Chain A
Amino acid sequence: MTRAPAAVPRLFMNMIEVRGLAKHFGRFSALRGLNLTVGAGEFVALFGRNGAGKTTFLRILAGLSRPSSGSFRIQPHGSGPARSAIGYLSHNTSLYLDLTALENLRFYAQLMGLPADTGILELKIGQVGLAGRERDPVRNYSRGMQQRLAIARAFLHNPSILLLDEPFTGLDQAGSSFLRGYLHSAHAQGKTCIMAIHDAQLGYELADRLVAIEKGVAALDVARPDVSFSEFQEALSHISAGGDTGRLPEAS
């Protein structure tokens, strides 16, 4: 049997509070009463099989989808979407392939009411390692370059919450290393990060807290310092097989 997730000791002010979140698509239930509290500045890695509800959960937090029942609060915005505080990055880059990098960022900056001067935008593009390629159509970029530009796009408005849905998908070693460095830096700056990821090793390395979603609920919720990687991996395997969390120490 799956053990109920134990409360993780919290050093952070609660930034995100999710209560009984459910989402149904016809007869399929992607989420079935998910509860989760995320502190400000915390880095939470979400694990789970395909269809476990990770993406649905992130899309609801991002305001892209409405929950069927349950609620969530994002401080200090209250219930409902808080798009100005959220940067959402997935493996889809949301970039217009027929526009240049500069035109893409200028478009999003204008929509967000941010300064859209060429100098500022070139600086942003340079920060993700694409200096000199600002005027190339995005269609000519490699997958890794597109993902770098997607990082600049998603975090253009300096959001305090980063929602990341499989952001490492399709990246080569250099791209992956860049994104890892970027996320480390964002975490160090106190940004709250929730990242859905399949790579257990990578998620374990990056996050403060490890949450596994299975059948639409949090089946595992542990602080990383309380668990070794091998114990965590074993627990994940048990959960995926429909069992409990194995010999994991319950966080008090």
Chain B
Amino acid sequence: MKKIWAIFRKDMLIEFRTKDSLNSMLFFGVVVLVIFNFALGSLHDSLRSAAPGILWVAFAFSGTLGLNRVFAAEKENSCLQGLLMVPVDRGVIYLGKMLAATVFMLIAELVIFIFSLVFFNLTVWPEIPYLILVFAVGTLGFSAVGTLLSAVTVNTKMREVLLPLILFPVILPVLINAAEATNIILNSADYGQLKLPLTIMSVFTLVFGTISYLLFEYVLED
């Protein structure tokens, strides 16, 4: 656990000094909201219905930018080589990186969500605990797969293009269920219906997280 924390702490320290990932994630996510706000501006009454889908599009796009940096930053100065030389289970590296990616995404999501309240004129105080739960589970599923695929693409020339191409088809069950769960919270308030999408996302995260943990050792070797 201390080793996972060391990797997480190192990534956070570097990010808060350089702000390489967060700045681009926030900017891109907010731009997506602005575009949808203008595109759907005339359908004012439908905005609340469209908000869950728009939010998760913004989360997914900005999250992909963040995931691209998870291992790309380790390529500078061959830090990845130094990391892989450390006598530690490589699954630990995966977990530390996944934790950092999840926290980066959650920070970006928080800011994007605050902007969405303004753009879509949402009032959500009673729903906030449920939204936090859905955002957390959805983001964990996203980063569980995304961290592995970020490692797979890190040595490719077109990683910025390749990552979303292979990530989005895999992550689709999480995105659909996260949007569905957010829709239930914002538009029906029948929280009993949250059980199914949350279960699907949790099972997905558990299964793909375990597979990613086990495969991680092999994806970074040439």
Contacts and interface: CB of A to CB of B under 8 A. Distances in A.
B82 interface: yes
A93 interface: yes
A153 interface: yes
Contact of B81 (A92, A96, A110): A92
Contact of B13 (A25, A66, A103, A153): A103
A111 B3 contact: yes
B210 to A, nearest CB: 23
B100 to A, nearest CB: 13
B77 interface: yes
B192 interface: no
Interface stretch (A32-40, A81-89, A118-126): A81-89
A97 interface: yes
Size band of the interface chain A makes with B: 20 to 34
B79 to A, nearest CB: 5
B7 interface: yes
Contact of B82 (A59, A95, A110): A95
Given A65-B221, A99-B10, A107-B6, A90 B78 contact: yes
A202 interface: no
A96 B221 CA distance: 21
Contacts of B77: 92-97
Contacts of B10: 96, 99, 103, 107
Given A66-B221, A99-B14, A157 B87 contact: yes
Interface string B141-157: 00000000000000000
B86 interface: yes
A21 to B, nearest CB: 15
A64 interface: yes
Contacts of A83: 85-87
Contacts of A59: 222
A121 B14 CA distance: 20
Contact of B17 (A65, A98, A112, A153): A98
B188 interface: no
A113 interface: yes
B81 A94 contact: yes
Interface in B83-108: 83-88
A95 B17 CA distance: 16
Contacts of A63: 84-85
Given A65-B221, A98-B18, A93 B88 contact: no
A86 B79 contact: no
Interface in B1-42: 2-3, 6-7, 9-10, 13-14, 17-18
Given A65-B222, A110-B3, A111-B3, A93 B85 contact: no
B9 to A, nearest CB: 8
Nearest to A108: B86
Nearest to B4: A111
Nearest to A84: B87
Contacts of A98: 14, 17-18
Given A88-B85, A103-B13, 13 more contacts: A64-B85, A66-B221, A66-B222, A84-B87, A90-B78, A93-B77, A97-B77, A98-B14, A108-B82, A111-B3, A111-B86, A154-B82, A154-B85
Shortest Cβ-Cβ A-B pairs, 10 listed:
A94-B82, A92-B78, A110-B6, A84-B87, A83-B87, A111-B86, A107-B10, A88-B85, A98-B14, A98-B17
